[in-house]
Structure 1
Amino acid sequence: MQAWRVHRNGEPGQVMRLEETPGPTPGDGQVRVEVRAASVNFPDALLCRGQYQVRPPLPFTPGVEVCGVTEDGRRVLATPALPHGGFAEYVVADEAALLPAPDALDDAEAAALHIGYQTGWFGLHRRARLQPGETLLVHAAAGGVGSAAVQLGRAAGAKVIGVVGGPEKAAVARELGCDLVVDRRSEDIVAAVKEATGGRGADVVYDPVGGDAYAKSVKCIAFEGRVVVVGFASGVIPTPALNHALVKNYSVLGLHWGLYNTKDPAAVRACHDELTELAARGAVKPLISDRVAMADAAKAVQRVADGTSTGRIVVLPGGAR
């Protein structure tokens, strides 16, 4: 089969190589899945760089979420078992972790529903307890993770403020339905949030960026606000000033969605049921900015690594769907 493999760590565009390789063999409790669509995530870039919390042995195939078909004909969402990731024609995955692909979404959309939307749902509902009428501030609102949070926030009845970088991404955030869009390159985030909330600030901040985004967020957080730390796409891990959290009475909440797969898998399945229902009634729909052929997977991962993409880019090993 064809698969993209990484033999040394570095930038995705330089170290990913498309090769012919034997297909993976399922182990105990695993199934073989034909990949129909593989969503590109920022962790794929970190895997290539050797900077992710999980470091598979070299050589490995990146790709952390797919939509595919099992040998018995089920259309499923799967998180492939590394080192045999999703940018390949076939993967193996744990049978117990397979989820039914929503009928309301095509293969590319379904592949993009899993990690980003699960992360958003657990971050906003399980961790931050977002309430209708509250103000949600989403950083990188036009990206794959941020766009999911925007849609989930709107579905929950929140007022959504999206922060983006540049006019193109601002247009995408507006189309997603943000009540207010702030371009961090030309506008003052803190001033804009305070003005939009009458000085109160954001009740919940969803931050997959870290660095300066976190620093600005705690300057415009509301009384009893909650900052959900999702990731550090900026490459800078902030150091929270706990005296500031004490004085302003806000919470900093960490979110590692992957832990729920082992600590509370029933919650993951319940979340998927909720996401499937939201997709069925059109409340959420993954933003697919590009569907690319297998041959262009390395370029796609590099675009995500460089922060130039919007929504999700999806790799289609078998052609356009």
Structure 2
Amino acid sequence: MKAIAIKTAGDPDVLQLQEIPTPKIKNSTEILIRLKAAGINPIDTKLRQRGTFYPEQMPAILGCDGSGIVEAVGSQVQRFKVGDEVYFCAGGLGKQGTGNYAEYTVVEEYLVARKPVSLSFAEAATAPLVLLTAWESLYDRALLESGQKVLIHAGAGGVGHVAIQLAKLKGARVCTTVGSPDKERLARQFGADYPIFYKQTDFIQAVLDWTDGNGVDVAFDTVGGKVFFDTCQAVKVYGDVVTILEPDAKIGNLKEARNRNLRISLELMLTPAVKGLVDAQKHQTKILEQCSRWLDEGKLKIHLSQSFPLIDAVKAHKLIETGSTTGKIALIID
């Protein structure tokens, strides 16, 4: 089969079109999927730059997110049959025989959910990782409740635009940081109550003004760096801060967070895959199944900003590394 793979870590040009043996079902609970699209996420670019979780297993196919059609099933597969349309977040961390920048992949049944009927393959392929990240951050980590006020950073981004929608579905009010009028319009489309132009406005003061000086109940940091530490000043006493980046002690300190008695949560939706936590992975599949229903009911939307053919993976990586994209980017596999 054709695949985009890397033989060594490096810049986007290490992504090369290669001919690789088509993976085969080895376990009775596995599914062979003919991929129609793959989502591109920042984790893909980081693994390409720094090396994968399995550096001894090269070449490696990247891409955690995928969608496609069931081509074959193992003898004990019960939930799917040949011809079913599916989407999932599995593989792509460098382990041999996995990854979705390819024509085929083999995935365990418990990692797979039915593709939302209302979404194209490209849209569906970009959804799983960001849906799981936003869900776990807001619902599982912060325990978001109806009526609470939430700050979501980068509301027009891949994680941010679904986080806004999930927060609204829970009955929360949402403020979000944006960098341009176009991104403000996009954030409002997804339900943001108060977009904040962070380049012109001190977002801390804007949040405090919006909350009568109290701060938000929950803050969701998708940016990291200094933004994480600044965000602690915009959260109410005994509030929650969830970040998807590792806080850097060289940039700031947690004194303000400690004074406010904040609960700080670190979110990495890849932990179940990296640690081999099957029950946690099954929980993630149930999340995708619920999100699939909401997507088909029109309660959730995925903003696909751009698609590239598989052969143009280098262009797609260069684009996402600009840090200025909105929504999601997909690779189309024909």
- The verdict on a shared fold, with TM-score over 0.5 as the criterion, is yes
Question: C-alpha separation between the residues in 1 aligned to 2:314 and 2:188?
Answer: 29
Partner of 1:67, secondary structure, is: strand
Of residues 240, 248, 254, the one that matches 1:237 is 248
Cα offsets for 1:9-51 (capped at 9, x unmatched): 1222x21112233222333243221111111111110110126
1:33-182 equivalent positions in 2, closer than 5 A: 33-50=33-50, 55=55, 57-71=57-71, 72-81=82-91, 82-83=95-96, 84-182=98-196
What letter matches 1:91 in structure 2? T
- Is 1:220 aligned to 2:219, yes or no? no
Task: Specify the alignment match of 1:190 in structure 2.
Answer: 204
- Is 1:309 aligned to 2:325, yes or no? yes
Question: C-alpha separation between the residues in 2 aligned to 1:280 and 1:249?
Answer: 40
Question: C-alpha separation between the residues in 2 aligned to 1:55 and 1:144?
Answer: 27
CA distance 1:92–1:137, change in 2 (3 Å): same
Cα offsets for 1:236-255 (capped at 9, x unmatched): 73567444333112110112
Question: C-alpha separation between the residues in 2 aligned to 1:159 and 1:104?
Answer: 27
Task: Specify the alignment match of 2:75 in structure 1.
Answer: none
Task: Specify the alignment match of 1:23 in structure 2.
Answer: 22
**CA shift at 1:315, angstroms?**
1.0
Task: Specify the alignment match of 2:266 in structure 1.
Answer: 254
**CA shift at 1:54, angstroms?**
6.1
TM-score by length of 2: 0.87
Select between 238-247 and 223-232 the one with higher mean Cα deviation: 238-247
Task: Specify the alignment match of 2:79 in structure 1.
Answer: none
CA distance 1:307–1:158, change in 2 (3 Å): same
**CA shift at 1:208, angstroms?**
1.9
Task: Specify the alignment match of 1:278 in structure 2.
Answer: 294
CA distance 1:222–1:62, change in 2 (3 Å): same
Q: What stretches of structure 1 move > 4 A for 4+ residues in a row?
A: 51-56
Select between 63-72 and 240-249 the one with higher mean Cα deviation: 240-249
- Is 1:292 aligned to 2:302, yes or no? no
Question: C-alpha separation between the residues in 1 aligned to 2:185 and 2:55?
Answer: 36
Select between 210-219 and 157-166 the one with higher mean Cα deviation: 157-166
Asked if structure 2 preserves the Cα contact closer than 8 Å seen for 1:214 and 1:238, the reply is: no
Asked if structure 1 preserves the Cα contact closer than 8 Å seen for 2:110 and 2:285, the reply is: no
Asked if structure 2 preserves the Cα contact closer than 8 Å seen for 1:211 and 1:238, the reply is: no
What letter matches 2:67 in structure 1? C
CA distance 1:135–1:68, change in 2 (3 Å): same
- Is 1:207 aligned to 2:207, yes or no? no
Task: Specify the alignment match of 2:11 in structure 1.
Answer: 11
Question: C-alpha separation between the residues in 2 aligned to 1:192 and 1:242?
Answer: 21
Cα offsets for 1:53-112 (capped at 9, x unmatched): 665733211111101111121211133433431111111212221111122322122222
Asked if structure 1 preserves the Cα contact closer than 8 Å seen for 2:233 and 2:256, the reply is: no
**CA shift at 1:229, angstroms?**
1.5
Structure 2 unaligned segments of length 5 or more: list them: 72-81
What letter matches 1:33 in structure 2? I
**CA shift at 1:288, angstroms?**
0.6
Asked if structure 2 preserves the Cα contact closer than 8 Å seen for 1:121 and 1:152, the reply is: yes
**CA shift at 1:260, angstroms?**
4.4
**Please, what is the CA RMSD of the aligned residues?**
2.1
Question: C-alpha separation between the residues in 2 aligned to 1:55 and 1:306?
Answer: 26
Structure 1 unaligned segments of length 5 or more: list them: none
Asked if structure 1 preserves the Cα contact closer than 8 Å seen for 2:90 and 2:111, the reply is: no
TM-score by length of 1: 0.90
Partner of 2:241, secondary structure, is: strand
Asked if structure 2 preserves the Cα contact closer than 8 Å seen for 1:33 and 1:69, the reply is: yes
Partner of 1:125, secondary structure, is: helix
Question: C-alpha separation between the residues in 1 aligned to 2:138 and 2:56?
Answer: 30
